[in-house]
Amino acid sequence: MPFPIHRPRRLRASEPMRRLVRETRLAPSDFILPLFAVEGEGDRREIGSMPGNYQLSVDEIVKECELCHSLGIGGVILFGIPNEKDDCASQAYAEAGIVQRAVAAIKRAVPDLLVITDVCNCEYTSHGHCGKIVGEDVDNDATLAWLAASAVSHARAGTDIVAPSDMMDGRVAAIRAALDTAGFQKTPILSYAAKYASAFYGPFREAAESAPQFGDRRSYQMDPPNALEAMREIALDIEEGADMIMVKPAMPYLDIIRMARDRFDVPLAAYQVSGEFSMIMAAARNGWIDLDRAMIESLTAIRRAGAGFILTYFAQPAARLLA
Tell me the C-alpha distance between 258 and 307, whole Å.
Answer: 8
CB of 204 to ligand PBG, least distance (A): 3
Q: Closer CB to ligand PBG, residue 184 or residue 201?
A: 201
Beta carbon nearer to ligand PBG, 164 or 306: 164
Q: Which is nearer to ligand PBG, 166 or 240 (CB)?
A: 166
Query: Residue 149 Cβ, how far from ligand PBG at the closest point, in Å?
Result: 17
Residues within the interface to ligand PBG (CB under 6 A): 118, 120, 122, 130, 165, 201, 204-205, 217, 273-274
Burial class of residue 34 in the structure, from the number of CB atoms within 10 Å of its CB (0-12 exposed, 13-18 middle, 19+ buried): buried
Distance CA 125, CA 139 (A): 14
Strand 75-81 with 137-139, pairing: unpaired
Name the residue among 143, 244, 229, 132 with its Cα closest to residue 192: 244
In the complex with ligand PBG, the residue whose CB is nearer, 30 or 118, is 118
Q: For the CB of residue 44, give the shortest distance to ligand PBG in the complex, in Å.
A: 19
Beta strands in the chain (DSSP E): 31-38, 44-46, 54-57, 75-81, 114-119, 132-134, 137-139, 161-164, 190-195, 244-248, 268-272, 309-312
Query: CB 16 → ligand PBG: shortest distance, Å?
Result: 37
The Cα–Cα gap between 34 and 47 comes to 13
Query: Measured from the CB atom, is 202 or 241 closer to ligand PBG?
Result: 202
> What amino acid is encoded at 297 in this protein?
E
Q: Which residue is nearest to ligand PBG (CB)?
A: 204
Cβ-contact 257, 250 below 8 angstroms:
yes
Nearest approach in angstroms of CB 57 to ligand PBG is 21
Q: Which of 85, 107, 132, 195 is an active site residue?
A: 195
User: Who contacts 232 (Cβ-Cβ below 8 Å, separation ≥6)?
Assistant: none
Question: Does residue 195 have an active-site annotation?
Answer: yes
Amino acid at 321: L
Please give the positions annotated as active site: 195, 248
